[in-house]
Structure 1
Amino acid sequence: MHTSESQQRERIRTEIFADADAASRQLAGEIAALIRERAAAGKGVVLGLATGSTPVRLYRELIRMHREEGLSFKNVITFNLDEYYGLTRDHPESYWRFMHEQLFNHIDLPAAQINLPNGTLPRGEVFGSCRAYEDKIAAAGGLDLQVLGIGRTGHIGFNEPGSTRESRTRLVTLDGLTRRDAARDFLGEANVPRHAITMGVGTILDARRIVLLAWGESKAGVLAQAVEAAPVDTLPASFLQGHPNVRFYIDGSAASALTRMRHPWLVGPVAWTPEMARRAVVWLSHTVGRPVLKLLDEDYSEHGMADLLTEQGSVYDLNIRIFNELQHTITGWPGGKPGADDTHRPERAEPASKRVVVFSPEPSHDMLGMGGTLRRLVDQGHQVTVVYQTSGNLAVPDADALMATDFVSDLAGCFPGEAGPAEAFARVVRGELLEKSAFVGDSAQVRRLKGLVRRGEARASIKLCGLAEKAVRFIDLPFYEEGRYRQFKPGAADREAIARLLAEVRPHQIFVTGDRDDPSSVAGVCFSLVGNACVGFAGDDWFSDCRVWLYHGVETPCDAAEIDMAVPVSPRELSQKTQAIFPHRSQRGHSAVASGLREPWQQAEKQNRDLATTYDALGLADYEAIEAFRRWMPGA
């Protein structure tokens, strides 16, 4: 299946694109060409379609081609992969509604040619309906092209681990991680359906062509397994290896765990740049279980790296150089140490007091990713501004909002006869919350209250970090307030808000996250807005004296070899960071990572301690914990 030496471990043809938009344009162009070719011959096209955030960019491009290039879908029949069981078609999270909002309502596809599994049938009728769905696909001539995404469990459609290669359309029970990943869409995990109807793996494999799309680093590990490891039923996407015409179209972040990207020296000759040499030596140290300074000639030769020694000198010189590079990333002065020689320090010494902007996509990202460093910056006299880019109201469970209305009512009860607008507002919101079903989207008033809940949590958290309230900005970007998960559309108002803030503060340092997240996620959108603003300021004098540092979320840990600044966190500072995360009560138990940890503070603590353990194993100082940063250059 591989087409080059570097792809020799890949069992599925995988193409890496500059970004999700480029990959989506490529596939949209191929779909358009197929539709036009068949239409010219008087024939139709049968498409298998996916839902979720991954194919949204594809659908937007197809809509654009319909509107601007005259692409007609009148000769197309569609079959969707799956549907939640128990949701009505008008439910905000039903895939029927999703597909109509994201694609069908905007093109000329006849309604009679749209097919989705029926998730509203009585249980006794589901089996027959699934058989009928299979028969309808066959009667249409089979799927010409099936579009897929991939879940963090390795599922395609809702074929969870344990699905067989021969499985057909059926009712399935959803994996716990899949349900937790959908929790925000459903305003809480308790509201996520436990079952879904999905095409089977066998149904998918019957398609004449398959294209799987994937964005973001959270998909990298499972994608690499699907592409490079032997097929197993614990990873349903790996069964795609047996298909004669399958392609994966992915972005660089999703590709980051492929051997040709992560360890290219294992699959062919490489250009031994300083960055590549560092990555290889760190990997070798981990692989053989020896500190960098104790690596031997035979370690290099036995692991396919003899040419590195040939190019870059003796093992002693190479080990010393890489060790020094790693050591120079460590600093207790994330804003630079005043009056010190900064030749080998990550940050410059001057100005001694820097203007620092920390962007947080939602309240809590800042504390989870860099709470210890944030406290250091404050304690060391820098002028820190924390910018919460969105209100985070979509992530607040109804129960937490009800608690807030109870508090306001109880407070008003302390002053009989003096009820004011606040109590009236709380009463109205409480009524809406009690009357709505668990699946109904929030009104503007409910979202406003939930935003206030997040603000209160953020203020309490930031105070524990030593920051004054005046150092905090809540800018409530419109793309978030006007949208919902999977359907964000940033616009000019969002871009202007970020640019205006940066032009006002003119920072010496910017800390931002989300560069490796799914570009459709809150963090991904927020990073793109900051990144675009930085590119726009690239020619300004103040920006030439500004450095941009990337921090990492709890689900995107940083490889030690790519760290540019490592800030040690002492046991006391780690405890303080944990305490500063606690006020974000509405987010507790809201996510899950591969470790299975549910609480955000546990995830952050583990990530920081694991990195310290890694540095210790490389032969560097033994710290309690470390927060990591990479330097980002606009346009690089």
Structure 2
Amino acid sequence: MNRPDSEAQQRERIRTTIHADADAACAVVAGELAALIRERQAAGRTVVLGLATGSTPVRLYRELIRLHREEKLSFRHVVTFNLDEYHGLPRTHPESYWRFMHEQLFDHLDIPPENIHLPDGTVPRAEVFGACRAYEEKFRAAGGIDVQILGIGRTGHIGFNEPGSGRDSRTRLVTLDALTRRDAARDFLGETNVPRHAITMGVGTILEARRILLLAWGEGKARVLADAVEKTPTDALPASFLQGHPGAAFHVDPAAASALTRQCHPWLVGTVAWTPGIARRAVVWLSQTVRKPVLKLLEEDYSEHGMADLLTEQGPAYGLNIRIFNELQRTITGWPGGKPDADDTHRPERAMPARKRVVVVSPEPSDDVLGMGGTLRRLVDQGHEVTVAYITSGNLGVPDEEAAMAADLVVELAGAGEETKFAQTVRRQLEAKTAFEGDTPEIRRLKGVLRRGEARASLQACGVTAPHLRFLDLPFYEQGRYRQFRAGERDVGTVATLLREVQPHQIFATGHSADPSSVAAVSFAVLRQALARTNGEAWRGDCRVWLYRGPDRDWAPAEIAMAVPFSPHELTQKIQAIYHHKSQRSQSPVVAAGLHEAWQQAEQHNRAIAVRYDQLGLAEYEAIEAFERFPDL
């Protein structure tokens, strides 16, 4: 077990470094790899690297490529062994890890082809066991793995070692967990196309590496990462076995680190400066821990849970309880755009101007109604000028079956016009397309049209009319694919032009804490750059940015700056708006409590926020949508 570096890290059993962002973390890790490579090269020795795939290490690979191109880092003396590969995929398949590694790294370096090793996913099932033993023998013969790069899956898997993988497991064929397959569904254009099996190094194999560096980005990894770092090792969480490795280290961004005790409950691991935000977080945590409303917390509740110093500074308990209760209560508003002619001293939004210009930024069609459909309708009903801007077309998320049905419908209804010829072309391309083949431009165009139609119908249910819809179809998405998006000047310029045209008083956006390779995170990064570009313009001084989340991202009550409650009827209206996104049914990558449909997840999510407010002793509502105030840029 690693020794903690500080009092605040006393619960952490693996050395974990929190970096400013994923790029900063990758610069540090790449620097460590580069130093080892140069040291070994000077001594005439090779370096053996264990490499991972997926979206997590992509930024690391980009930094290694930069070091090779700009700082002349040579990989001629580097030998690589990859963690895993899907079983049954040929190397030419767009989602094979062999192809991924060549596209993302090897094709850009001077590494000799004979130094590159990946498990062979085409080995017949009967020969897999022998091939796995031979694979391990290869890297032992190379001297063993010097540094192993890892990511962590939301099930806690490392490589494809799903829950149930033992500490001593070796390289082998595994059956993929349902959540793992669902997470990969979009890459494979549908969950049915995701392979059910993979070849992976075992946990025991991984632990034989002399150095292990695990990377994690985004709040979606926060809970599982904290469990792996702080809880007792168990085969239910394979990443937790890394605790026993003296050379293991985690490099994470703030979002992925957010569930570590030192980040979310710092008062449990040392002295803290009791800022208003930390005090509020602590009191809410105490209320939830002892299962009492905030106003019923007693002096002994604080003392018994390590918070006596908070009472010393800001007590007594009764006064502190009232203060925090009032802070929480003031987040609740039925007027997300501000209440006209009202005292807004303690309201989340200002009263003036009474009629605001609002831009709702949605990374893909459906993100808007999933995250804030009730609030969106409330803003429209209260007279604000609401513009919904779809950053991308979302065409990569449409199953081929939906596109085929749309093409058939056009052929049947459109007669002999150009629309019919186009639809017939798409239908032929879909019939000729293999299950794993990428979409043609025509297919993507039709899928984009399909999602536009769903978005129009959905927003009509929210009261937003067609003139207030903007389909930006940014190039980073139209020219890219999942896990490999890179935004550019045209993307930022398009969003900046929209903002200058509307000059909004409010912007609602999502993706701030998402995995940096996701559509949501790239879209938010583009928005931030567009806002930076408009700094100093007159309208910016009166513009606020509010953050919303999808139903797969939880809200802690202490994080919420604005809570918009709605009635059972309004919740039903939101669900109906979501339901118009028919092509996205069962496409969500999250399965919560057995719920597969996006509308079910959204309903449960909004009810859960209302329940938490009720448990804190606040008013009882049917459902709540929550928002966080983003710092002024």
TM-score bin (small chain): over 0.9
Structure 1 residue 555, shift from structure 2 partner: 1.4
Residue 380 (structure 1) aligns with? 382
Q: Do 1:531 and 1:634's aligned partners in 2 also have CA atoms closer than 8 Å? A: no
Q: In the alignment, is residue 420 of structure 1 matched against residue 417 of structure 2?
A: yes
Residue 257 (structure 2) aligns with? 255
Residue 4 (structure 1) aligns with? 6
Measure, in 1, the Cα distance between the counterparts of 2:266 and 2:34: 35
Structure 1 residue 594, shift from structure 2 partner: 4.2
Q: What amino acid is the match of 1:444?
A: P
Residue 517 (structure 2) aligns with? 520
Measure, in 1, the Cα distance between the counterparts of 2:99 and 2:115: 16
Measure, in 2, the Cα distance between the counterparts of 1:606 and 1:113: 50
Residue 633 (structure 1) aligns with? 631
TM-score, scaled to structure 1: 0.98
Structure 1 residue 409, shift from structure 2 partner: 1.0
Measure, in 2, the Cα distance between the counterparts of 1:205 and 1:75: 23
Matches within 5 A, 1:406-417: 406-412=408-414, 415=415
SS at match of 2:214: strand
Residue 88 (structure 1) aligns with? 90
* Per-residue deviation, residues 264-311 of structure 1 (Å, max 9, x unmatched): 000000000000000000000000011111100000000000000100
Residue 615 (structure 1) aligns with? 613
Residue 167 (structure 2) aligns with? 165
Q: Do 1:12 and 1:248's aligned partners in 2 also have CA atoms closer than 8 Å? A: yes
Q: Which runs of 5+ in 2 are unaligned?
A: none
Residue 321 (structure 2) aligns with? 319
C-alpha change, 1:152 and 1:107, in structure 2 (3 Å) is same
Q: Do 1:538 and 1:634's aligned partners in 2 also have CA atoms closer than 8 Å? A: no
Measure, in 2, the Cα distance between the counterparts of 1:47 and 1:522: 30
Measure, in 2, the Cα distance between the counterparts of 1:524 and 1:558: 18
Residue 558 (structure 2) aligns with? 561
Measure, in 1, the Cα distance between the counterparts of 2:428 and 2:406: 13
Measure, in 1, the Cα distance between the counterparts of 2:37 and 2:442: 45
* Per-residue deviation, residues 502-553 of structure 1 (Å, max 9, x unmatched): 0111100000000010010000100111122223323222111001000011
Measure, in 2, the Cα distance between the counterparts of 1:291 and 1:540: 45
Q: In the alignment, which of 233, 236, 239 is matched to residue 235 of structure 2?
A: 233
SS at match of 1:304: coil
* Per-residue deviation, residues 113-166 of structure 1 (Å, max 9, x unmatched): 000000001111111111100000100000000000000000000000111111
Residue 343 (structure 2) aligns with? 341
Structure 1 residue 593, shift from structure 2 partner: 3.5
Residue 213 (structure 1) aligns with? 215
Measure, in 2, the Cα distance between the counterparts of 1:99 and 1:130: 20
SS at match of 1:83: strand
Q: Do 2:333 and 2:563's aligned partners in 1 also have CA atoms closer than 8 Å? A: yes
* Per-residue deviation, residues 528-583 of structure 1 (Å, max 9, x unmatched): 11122223323222111001000011111221001110000110000000000001
Residue 544 (structure 1) aligns with? 541
CA RMSD across the alignment: 0.7
Matches within 5 A, 1:76-225: 76-225=78-227
Q: Do 1:535 and 1:634's aligned partners in 2 also have CA atoms closer than 8 Å? A: no
Matches within 5 A, 1:393-542: 393-412=395-414, 415=415, 419-542=416-539
Measure, in 2, the Cα distance between the counterparts of 1:612 and 1:531: 30
Residue 593 (structure 2) aligns with? 595
TM-score, scaled to structure 2: 0.99
Q: What amino acid is the match of 1:15?
A: T
How high is the sequence identity, in percent, across the aligned residues?
71
Q: Which runs of 5+ in 1 are unaligned?
A: none
Runs of 4+ in 1 over 4 A off after TM superposition: none
SS at match of 1:358: strand
Structure 1 residue 242, shift from structure 2 partner: 0.7
Measure, in 2, the Cα distance between the counterparts of 1:10 and 1:249: 13
Measure, in 2, the Cα distance between the counterparts of 1:543 and 1:597: 41
Measure, in 2, the Cα distance between the counterparts of 1:598 and 1:155: 22
Residue 570 (structure 1) aligns with? 567
Q: Do 1:534 and 1:634's aligned partners in 2 also have CA atoms closer than 8 Å? A: no
Measure, in 2, the Cα distance between the counterparts of 1:121 and 1:619: 60
Measure, in 1, the Cα distance between the counterparts of 2:70 and 2:243: 37
C-alpha change, 1:594 and 1:32, in structure 2 (3 Å) is farther
Measure, in 2, the Cα distance between the counterparts of 1:101 and 1:239: 31
SS at match of 1:606: helix
Q: Do 2:189 and 2:397's aligned partners in 1 also have CA atoms closer than 8 Å? A: yes
Q: Do 1:292 and 1:618's aligned partners in 2 also have CA atoms closer than 8 Å? A: yes
Measure, in 2, the Cα distance between the counterparts of 1:569 and 1:22: 41
* Per-residue deviation, residues 443-469 of structure 1 (Å, max 9, x unmatched): 111111111111011011000111111
Structure 1 residue 597, shift from structure 2 partner: 1.7
Measure, in 2, the Cα distance between the counterparts of 1:383 and 1:97: 47
